[in-house]
């Protein structure tokens, strides 16, 4: 067989006789290499997913004639798109393989970033164009339900919690990275960019920022494009595919397993609320305590927005090992109880905030809520491979993550329609009910499906 033979090329990237639960048929070096390259791409994907959340709080400064409801919709649409795309991505790993999945997705992420780069330079850009670009950013969130089960093919069950916890947690850091690095990048001209594009001028005012000062909002989009190109190159060169015998019809039988639905509800609680509040955190601070509120305390949401997703992601990343040792169900239960208490406290504070003390309490409760969500995100991803049959586990992870990724959409739309205290109170009740479900089905002694 010649080196140019198509079959030879195919065999180079397709693993044969691969069984991660059999040490003689598992290559740990290849597994961990796959994890790190895929996770690197996932970080960038999440940066793209939350790019509108970093840009939206700055649009009024640039003179875009947008109200609060319109800004919430810009942060919400990436969640809707991610939910739809995850329903597609969940079927892709066994159909196209890890290598193409990661490589092509990394290239697709460039499209919405390039779009935002040009759109924010013209304050007359139609609102429907901004909505379209926000929707396109959902490709970054959609990738999650393909990347996670794909990586799961490379690890034995004993390491599933650790591996998926690392990938999910580190990947989630993309939410924090874009909300931390984005505002910083907007503050100066990138090397080379100043020759191509003039800085923008602020025509609105926020705390610490004044009319007439230069700002480079487009940097937040342009900066990550070359890193996505690098991710695609690494994927196409170094990743391999695991042959998995599963077609779409076979994967659909996950819906006959009641645990698919129970775990979806629990993951909406943990990741749905985590991603939802991460997306609106900056706007929420501005609207409740900052320049867009009655209080006008002089706080900028962009200064604090990265903290929530950072805390939740670090906990998710580091808690996989504890879930491997203790089981995921107990941590999912602890997560639900903690989130119910903190969200209830936030609802109380937001009824009638009066000053800095209420802001500090609000921030403490929000960050604690993000911490508890990290416990739950690690716990649920340990539970699913343990309680689901091997053939269904990947599809179940994909479906539950698809529904939960609607979090930014649901939270953004809800906060544009009802008051924040009412919404937070509703979330607290939801988390309390989820805690009961987790305890009865998974966490208690002699539970039907101990996880």
What are the tens digits of pLDDT across the range 305-343? 999 999 998 998 888 788 888 889 999 999 999 999 999
How much of the chain, in percent, has pLDDT values that exceed 70?
A: 91
Handedness of CA 360, 362, 365, 370 (dihedral sign): negative
In terms of Cα–Cα distance, which of 57, 19, 41, 37 is closest to 281? 57
* CB atoms inside a 10 Å sphere around CB 352: 8
Per-residue pLDDT, averaged over 287-292, amounts to: 83
pLDDT at position 193: 64
What is the rounded end-to-end Cα distance, in angstroms, of the chain? 49
In this model, does residue 3 exceed pLDDT 50? no
Note the pLDDT of residue 194.
57
User: Please, what is the Cα angle at 336 between 365 and 408, to 5 degrees?
Assistant: 70
* Domain, as residue range, for 316: 13-443
**pTM for this prediction:** 0.85
**Which pLDDT band holds residue 432 (cuts at 50, 70, 90)?**
very high
Distance CA 116, CA 110 (A): 10
**What letters, b where the CB count within 10 A reaches 16 and e where it falls short, cover 100-130?**
bbbbbbbebbbebbebbbebbeeeebeeeeb
Distances (CA, A) of 313 to 30, 166, 169, 171, 285: 25, 9, 4, 8, 20
Rounded to an integer, the average pLDDT of 114-142 is 96
In 3D space, the residue among 274, 228, 288, 252 whose CA is nearest the CA of residue 106 turns out to be: 228
With cut-offs at 50, 70 and 90, classify the pLDDT of residue 216: confident
Answer yes or no: is 130 within a domain.
Answer: yes
The pLDDT-based confidence of 8 (bands split at 50, 70, 90) is very low
Provide mean pLDDT across the span 432-451: 93
Question: Per the domain annotation, does 85 fall within a domain?
Answer: yes
How far CA 30 is from CA of 26, 39, 240, 347, in Å, comes to: 9, 14, 8, 47
Q: Compute the average pLDDT of residues 259-283.
A: 95
Domains in the chain: how many in total? 1
CB 175 within 8 A of CB 275: yes
Report the C-alpha gap between 86 and 408 in whole angstroms: 14
What is residue 204's predicted lDDT score, i.e. its pLDDT?
Answer: 59
User: Averaged over 400-409, what is the pLDDT?
Assistant: 91
- List the single range of 74-88, 147-161, 223-237, 327-341 with lowest mean pLDDT: 147-161
Predicted pLDDT at 340: 98
Considering only residues 299 and 197, tell me which one the structure prediction assigns the higher pLDDT. Answer: 299
Helix 68-89 vs helix 407-417: angle between axes, to the nearest 10 degrees?
A: 160
For the ranges 129-133, 216-220, 321-325, which has the lowest average pLDDT? 321-325
* Whether residue 7 has pLDDT greater than 50: no
Residue 11 has a pLDDT of 59
Q: Is the pLDDT of residue 139 over 60?
A: yes
Distance CA 291, CA 68 (A): 12
Report the C-alpha gap between 154 and 132 in whole angstroms: 36
Those residues with Cβ within 8 angstroms of residue 243's Cβ, 6 or more apart along the chain or in another chain: 14, 15, 16, 18
Q: What percent of the chain has pLDDT over 90?
A: 60
Q: How far is CA 160 from CA 335, 337, 375, 387, 448, in A?
A: 20, 25, 16, 13, 22
Query: Is 4 within the bounds of a domain?
Result: no
Average pLDDT, the chain: 88
Q: What is the rounded distance in angstroms from the CA atom of residue 215 to the CA atom of residue 38?
A: 33
Q: Render pLDDT for 174-187 as a digit per residue (tens, 0 to 9).
A: 999 999 999 899 88
Q: In the predicted model, what is the mean pLDDT of residues 146-157? A: 87
The answer for residues whose C-beta is within 8 angstroms of residue 50's C-beta and 6 or more apart is 78, 137, 140, 174, 175, 178, 179, 278, 279, 309
Q: Which residue has the tokens 């996932």?
A: 42
Q: Is residue 50 part of a domain?
A: yes
Is residue 6 assigned to a domain?
no
Tell me the pLDDT tens digit for each residue of 34-69: 999 999 999 999 999 999 999 998 898 888 999 989
The dihedral sign for the CA sequence 278, 280, 284, 286: positive
- What average pLDDT does the segment 341-347 reach? 98
Q: How far apart are CA 376 and CA 378, in angstroms?
A: 5
In a domain, 3, yes or no: no
- Given a cut of 70, whether residue 76 has pLDDT beyond it is yes
Domain membership of residue 158 (yes or no) is: yes
Q: What is the pLDDT of residue 318?
A: 87
Q: Is residue 1 part of a domain?
A: no
The answer to whether the CB of 320 falls within 8 A of the CB of 166 is yes
Task: Give the domain CATH number at 289.
Answer: 1.20.1250.20
Tell me: pLDDT of 154 over 60: yes
């Amino acid at each position: 067989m010649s080196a140019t033979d198509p079959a030879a090329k195919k065999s180079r990237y397709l693993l044969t006789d691969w069984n991660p639960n059999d040490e003689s048929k598992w290559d740990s070096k290849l597994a961990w290499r796959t994890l790190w390259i895929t996770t690197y791409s996932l970080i960038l994907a999440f940066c793209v997913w939350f790019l509108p959340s970093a840009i939206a709080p700055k649009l009024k400064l640039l003179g875009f004639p947008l109200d609060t409801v319109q800004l919430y919709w810009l942060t919400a649409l990436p969640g809707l798109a991610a939910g739809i795309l995850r329903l597609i991505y969940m079927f892709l790993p066994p159909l196209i393989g890890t290598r193409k999945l990661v490589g092509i997705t990394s290239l697709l992420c460039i499209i919405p970033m390039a779009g935002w780069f040009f759109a924010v330079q013209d304050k007359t850009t139609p609102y429907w164009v901004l909505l379209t670009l926000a929707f396109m950013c959902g490709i970054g969130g959609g990738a999650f339900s393909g990347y996670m089960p794909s990586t799961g093919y490379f690890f034995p069950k004993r390491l599933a919690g650790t591996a998926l916890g690392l990938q999910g947690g580190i990947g989630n850091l993309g939410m924090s990275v874009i909300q931390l690095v984005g505002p910083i990048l907007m503050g100066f001209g990138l090397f080379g960019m100043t020759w191509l594009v003039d800085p923008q001028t602020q025509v609105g005012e926020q705390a610490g920022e004044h009319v007439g000062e230069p700002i480079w909002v487009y940097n937040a989009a342009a900066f990550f494009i070359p890193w996505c190109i690098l991710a695609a190159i690494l994927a196409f060169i170094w990743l391999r595919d695991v042959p998995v015998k599963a077609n779409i019809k076979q994967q659909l039988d996950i819906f006959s397993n009641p645990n698919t639905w129970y775990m979806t509800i629990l993951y909406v609680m943990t990741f749905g609320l985590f991603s939802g509040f991460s997306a609106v955190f900056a706007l929420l601070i501005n609207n409740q305590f900052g320049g867009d509120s009655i209080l006008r305390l002089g706080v900028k949401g962009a200064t604090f927005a990265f903290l929530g997703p950072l805390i939740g992601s670090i906990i998710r990343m580091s808690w996989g090992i504890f879930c491997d040792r203790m089981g995921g169900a107990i941590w999912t239960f602890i997560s639900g109880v903690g989130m119910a208490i903190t969200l209830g406290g936030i609802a109380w504070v937001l009824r009638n905030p009066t000053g800095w003390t209420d802001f500090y309490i609000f921030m403490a409760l929000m960050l604690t809520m993000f911490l508890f969500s990290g416990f739950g995100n690690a716990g649920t991803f340990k539970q699913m491979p343990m309680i689901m049959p091997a053939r269904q586990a990947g599809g179940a992870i994909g479906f539950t993550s698809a529904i939960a990724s609607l979090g930014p959409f649901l939270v953004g739309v809800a906060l544009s329609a009802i008051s924040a205290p009412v919404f937070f109170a509703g979330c607290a009740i939801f988390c309390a009910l989820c805690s009961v479900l987790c305890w009865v089905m998974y966490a208690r002694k002699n539970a039907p499906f101990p996880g």
